[in-house]
Structure 1
């Protein structure tokens, strides 16, 4: 059996001595990346494992959808606590749909990161109740919901308390999409919840073909850090890297409020267009990054304005970057009467429709971006 496994490994090429990922030198954000100069070392470990060993730093890598589902399916056969990290700013875009059917009877702790981006004075109890309702509507049964900001060290003590309460003597699987702050939280867990030190070798983390990293805990169990899954329905996964700085907020959002009559349009750079088509005069509150310019115009002039000024007046992105992004798809959305509603655009943020008179709006976003209506978050 050992000879057979060795032959199979050789046919697949060299693999990381730490996590088992196939080594490659082309894509830094994919599993197994190693600089060419490091290939001469013995044993050879990927950059991710090198950083864990030398800097206590876990970095997120991406896994394709099928491989990620295979990894999730393996969790169902274990006795573990599953920690699902989501990005509150992109809740529907980062929630793993169907997670419940993959993890079996294992308890799921929902950790909602990036609460530091909410406007000052936000009622966190209401946010937590909203998250619970949304998770339930998606078929996800959770033992608890914890709000935190791993980056700003807000609420992290509640994450630790929840782990103590629900873990027992089980391993902890940490799952989440890319860019939800998973690596930041993992690094906090390493510092606060593990005996890991700078002298440990990568061989302390058993290799696995799942491209997961096992981080030892004080009691002999492990935190299993799984690669982040890429959801292409998020705008943040479509735009060039240079545009992300404008798209992703790094401090509390200052909402923009617009009083609109039907027949008016808002452009958010040249990334998204929002048309107020029909209804009474209403106010709309934009919860988007302050680095994204908003331009208002009349609906009758919107096509002409976009054709003449996309990538220039209407930016980011610039004209060259815009060529890398899929063309727009139109979404026609009916806002119900009597219900405070958000128009959610994955990776961008959301637009809250104020008032209870109902309305018809249309959203133009790059093809594939998730656009939907939901109960208002705030």
Structure 2
């Protein structure tokens, strides 16, 4: 928010653009609750509503951007300094309730919040910079009636306003979501924070992400770690190279691999998995060398011993994109693996650090 306020300079409207399901509506909702937005707007603007179908925001939503005057920027920085020193005991009941909800979904690295709140109309105000958001000819001595129910902004509130728009998003032609039914899409798109799942594979082993992706570890001298970042509703299965084709043939379209679903009839219309060979060279056991992105189903971060050369073969449905991302998005993701689960190639995931501790250590950044 601070960067947006510094760089924007009231130059025009702002649009959130990008591919479908890249988080534009989530960002829009966050900005709506922040100092980027005029303080009364959240009472009027419905938060972005996303339909179950991939990337389809139902309405083109917008909110008026607050004018980042020197006074507002100063007040915002003072609030951020104060928030950075808060402890859990100093939080309000509503804040504690919200933090407990977040703890169940994952952990947060910062906080948004609002510096500028609506003023009580019974209080006499000589000067309120919020009333001077864009129109310098508004009379600050005649504030609007704050408690009056209104469904729209007044003319003076919006006549010179700049707006932040949410957009439906750009549909990618090579996206796996285009191949899925509405029920399948709901399983693929994460609805909660992703819990990374790490597996150790030896040469000759295969990892399946549902029936949407497959990675074969063909050649290498040592085991390597494969960290899956995808919806927690998508199953991950590890088998041997000799059993992989039979496993796919038997279970694709059924509950074991989950997506796609619908049995043999569904798989007749679903594209076959097509391969792409990948060669990677490890950089150490604590840092991933690359991500193998399986279209919009998720990605797998590969961690290998230093200088270890791996030959992999990755599969995605025909017509969808498979991307090798170097450097990886989360290079140290394998470091949060916990103890090995006995008798399996899987690791437990470490419990994340205390939410409030994260809030304290990152709030000033």
TM score, norm. by length of structure 2:
0.51
Match of 1:367 in 2: 318
Equivalent in 142, 155, 169 of residue 228 of structure 1: 169
User: Structure 1 residues 244 and 227 mapped into 2: Cα distance closer, same or farther (>3 Å)?
Assistant: closer
Given candidates 166, 186, 197, the residue that maps to 1:256 is 197
CA contact (8 A) 1:262 1:278 kept: yes
* Alignment partner, residue 181 of structure 1: 23
Counterparts of 2:249 and 2:197 in 1: how far apart (Å)?
25
Matching residue within 271, 278, 285 for 1:333: 278
Once the two structures are TM-superposed, the CA of residue 230 in structure 1 deviates from its matched residue by: 0.6
**Larger Rg belongs to:** 2
Change (3 A) 1:255 1:189: closer
Per the TM alignment, residue 197 of structure 1 is displaced from its structure 2 partner at its CA by 7.5
Q: Go from structure 1 to structure 2 and tell me whether the alpha carbon gap of 1:226 and 1:287 turns closer, same or farther (over 3 Å shift).
A: closer
- Displacement of 1:241: 1.7
Aligned-residue offset at 1:323: 4.5
Show structure 1 runs of 4+ deviating over 3 A: 187-192, 194-200, 211-218, 224-227, 320-325
Q: Deviations over 1:232-268 (max 9, x none)?
A: 2332333222112322223333322222221111222
Secondary structure of the corresponding residue to residue 176 of structure 1: coil
CA 221–346 in structure 1, closer or farther in 2 if over 3 Å, else same: same
* 3-state DSSP of counterpart to 2:183: helix
CA separation of 1:164 and 1:323: change in aligned 2, threshold 3 A: farther
Aligned residue in 2 for 1:317: 260
**Aligned pairs, number:** 209
Judging changes above 3 Å, is the alpha-carbon distance between structure 1 residues 191 and 340 closer, same or farther for their aligned structure 2 residues? Answer: closer
The structure-2 alpha-carbon separation of the partners of 1:336 and 1:165, relative to structure 1 and needing over 3 Å to count, comes to same
Q: Which residue of 2 aligns with 1:169?
A: 10
- List runs of 5+ in structure 2 lacking aligned partners: 46-58, 66-132, 135-160, 332-365
Change (3 A) 1:367 1:214: same
Contact 1:232 1:238 survives alignment (8 Å): no
Aligned-partner Cα distance in 2 for 1:340–1:321: 36
Pair 301,161 (structure 1): closer, same or farther in 2 beyond 3 Å:
same
**Which digits, 9 at most, give the CA deviation of each residue in 1:62-91, with x for residues without a partner?**
xxxxxxxxxxxxxxxxxxxxxxxxxxxxxx
Q: In proportion to residue count, which structure has more strand?
A: 1
Report the CA distance between 1:287 and its aligned residue.
Answer: 1.9
Distance 1:294 1:213 in 2: 37
- Aligned residues of 1:341 and 1:352 also touching (Cα < 8 A): yes
Query: Contact conserved, 2:32 with 2:42, CA < 8 A, in 1?
Result: no
Match of 1:298 in 2: 240
For residues 240 and 198 of structure 1, do their structure 2 counterparts lie closer, same or farther at Cα, with a shift above 3 Å needed? same
The answer for unaligned runs of 5 or more in structure 1 is 1-159, 201-210
1:349 is matched with which residue?
A: 298
Give the deviation of 1:199 after TM superposition.
Answer: 7.4
CA distance in 1, matches of 2:219, 2:42: 61
Change (3 A) 1:187 1:350: closer
- SS at structure 2 position matched to 1:314: coil
Partner secondary structure for residue 180 of structure 1: coil
Q: Secondary structure at the match of 2:312?
A: strand
What is the CA–CA distance in structure 2 between the aligned matches of 1:369 and 1:169, rounded to whole Å?
40
Measured against aligned partners, the alpha-carbon deviations of 1:144-195 in whole angstroms (never above 9, x if no partner) come to: xxxxxxxxxxxxxxxx222211111122222122122222333444455145
For 1:224 and 1:353, the matched residues in 2 are separated by 37
CA distance in 1, matches of 2:26, 2:193: 18
Kindly state the Cα deviation for residue 227 of structure 1 after the two structures are TM-superposed: 3.5
Q: Distance in 1 between matches of 2:200 and 2:42?
A: 55
RMSD: 2.7
Q: Which of 185, 188, 194 is matched with 1:244 structurally?
A: 185
Under a length normalisation based on structure 1, what TM-score does the superposition of the two structures give? Answer: 0.49
Give the C-alpha shift of residue 299 in structure 1: 0.7
Secondary structure, aligned partner of 1:273:
strand
